[in-house]
């Protein structure tokens, strides 16, 4: 049996390694060239991924367990896997006990919520941090991230106006009045008045906001984004916003909601 000297084996291995490296440098070895690609370059094989991203901007619509709204956020990359955000949400929030009814005699009257004193909206101004958890492995894949957001919430209360019939059924005339729980009852409420009534009588309630969620970003273009997000949000106010009049439903200062958003946006390099 022939034996091979260890020095010959070592020399052959070194020669093969040198030859493999040389072929990779001059571009004759595709396997070697593929190993040079970063994760983004492997996904976007068009050369664009060689420039690091610096900024993002997204707009979207939001649905949550007590209403809906719109959202906007502006982000700055803090490295390959972190983004710092500033954003704002404009949210319509309904009390969980809101049930619409209508006048059984006058069917043309608009439906209303009996006992509702104010319509309630929230303006959130927040800062957030997004952490990349799973990068895309191909163009039609999904990038998974998690995010924290925290900031201020400004509750906006707008008085509810109703159309009130006088004197009794059948009404002789109908007047538009701000809802008064001591004077307006189901037998003299014709229906809900126009939403524009009361815009000059807004009341503000300050509070704090915090939320946590998952972001699923997908799409075939590196500089265009489509993002689905889902999570949980908490808004706490210094005093309970008066949505219902006293004696109907309990008003509370803490609102915990589940949300989902769909956002469109772009990212770029400065």
For 46-268, which CATH class?
Answer: mainly beta
Tens digits of residue pLDDT in 75-131: 999 887 899 999 999 999 999 899 999 999 998 899 999 999 999 999 999 999 999
What DSSP letter does each residue of 218-266 carry, written as one string? E-S-TTEEEEEEEEEEEEEESS----BPTTTS---SEEEEEEEEEEEEE
pLDDT at 222 over 80: no
* Pair of tokens at residue 112: 């209303």
Domain residue ranges in the chain: 1-36, 46-268
Please give the DSSP secondary-structure letter assigned to residue 5.
-
Pair 185, 247: CB distance under 8 Å: no
- Residues paired with residue 234 on neighbouring β-strands, in sequence order: 210, 256
pLDDT at 257 over 80: yes
| Percentage of the chain exceeding pLDDT 90 | 66
CA–CA separation, 15 vs 12, rounded Å? 5
pTM above 0.75, yes or no: yes
């Amino acid at each position: 049996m022939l034996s091979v000297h260890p020095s010959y084996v070592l020399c052959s291995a070194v020669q093969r390694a040198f030859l493999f490296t040389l072929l990779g440098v001059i571009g004759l070895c595709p396997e070697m060239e593929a190993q040079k690609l970063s994760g983004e370059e492997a996904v976007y094989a068009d050369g664009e991924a060689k420039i690091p991203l610096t900024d993002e901007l997204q707009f979207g619509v939001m649905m949550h367990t007590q209403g809906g709204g719109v959202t906007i956020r502006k982000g700055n990359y803090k490295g390959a896997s972190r983004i710092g955000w500033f954003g704002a949400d404009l949210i319509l929030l309904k009390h969980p006990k809101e049930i619409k009814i209508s006048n059984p005699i006058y069917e043309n009257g608009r439906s209303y919520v009996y006992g509702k004193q104010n319509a309630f909206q929230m303006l959130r101004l927040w800062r957030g941090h997004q952490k990349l958890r799973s990068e895309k492995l191909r163009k039609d894949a999904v990038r998974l991230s998690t995010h924290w957001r925290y900031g201020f919430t400004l509750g906006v209360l707008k008085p509810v106006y109703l159309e009130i019939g006088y004197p009794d059924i059948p009404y002789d005339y109908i007047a538009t009045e701000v809802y008064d729980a001591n004077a307006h009852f189901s037998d003299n409420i014709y229906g809900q008045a126009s939403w524009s009534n009361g815009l000059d009588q807004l009341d503000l309630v300050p509070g704090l906001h915090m939320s946590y969620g998952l972001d699923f970003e997908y799409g075939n273009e590196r500089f265009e984004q489509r993002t689905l997000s889902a999570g949980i949000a908490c808004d706490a106010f210094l005093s309970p916003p008066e949505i219902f009049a006293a004696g109907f439903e309990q008003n509370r200062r803490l609102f915990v909601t589940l949300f989902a958003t769909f956002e469109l946006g772009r990212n770029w390099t400065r």
